[in-house]
Amino acid sequence: MIKKLILAVATLVASISFAFAQVDVNKGDAAALDSVKGIGPAMSKRIIDERTKNGDFKDWSDLQKRVKGIGDKHGSKLSEAGLQVNGKSKDGAPMNAAAAASTKTEKNAKADKTDKTPGDMSDKAAKPAKADKKAMKSSM
């Protein structure tokens, strides 16, 4: 039973991470571009047509100039949703949830390592040893 529960949770976590996958505008096909929140079939067609006609996009400003419907505000939202140009997110755009979560996890792991000093007995002092528990029971 517990193994099934762990498997279900692992599957859920894996599927969530796929939802926040990064898609490069110069490498993604129509399906990959459509998977980014804020890009539909019409927008992905405009992106692919412009990329095919005039070559890869150099940066975010190049993408915004060449593709109708992508301005500063929409570009920031697309970047937040996982769209990248040449592997880079738009400057000033917030991180997507997956990237933010991994950054928080890394910071928490570093904090846990630095909080505990060698020989720190605070965790052990909070719980009495088994021998102490047995001694307490036998004295009752």
* Residue 41 neighbours by CB under 8 Å, 6+ apart: 30, 34
The pLDDT of residue 28 is 93
What is the spatial distance between Cα 53 and Cα 138, in angstroms, rounded to a whole number? 86
Sign of CA dihedral 103, 32, 38, 16: negative
Q: For residue 96, give the DSSP letter.
A: P
**Distance separating alpha carbons of residues 12 and 4, to the nearest angstrom:** 12
Per-residue pLDDT of the chain (140 residues; tens, 9 = 90+): 888 778 776 665 555 544 457 999 999 999 999 999 999 999 999 999 999 999 999 999 999 999 999 999 999 999 999 999 999 998 865 554 555 554 444 455 555 555 555 555 555 555 555 565 555 555 55
What's the predicted TM-score (pTM) here?
Answer: 0.54
pLDDT at 59: 94
Query: Which pLDDT value is given to residue 1?
Result: 81
pLDDT of residue 6: 84
140, with CB counted inside 10 A (0-12, 13-18, 19+), is: exposed
Domains of the chain: 2-97 (1.10.150)
pLDDT the model gives residue 39? 94
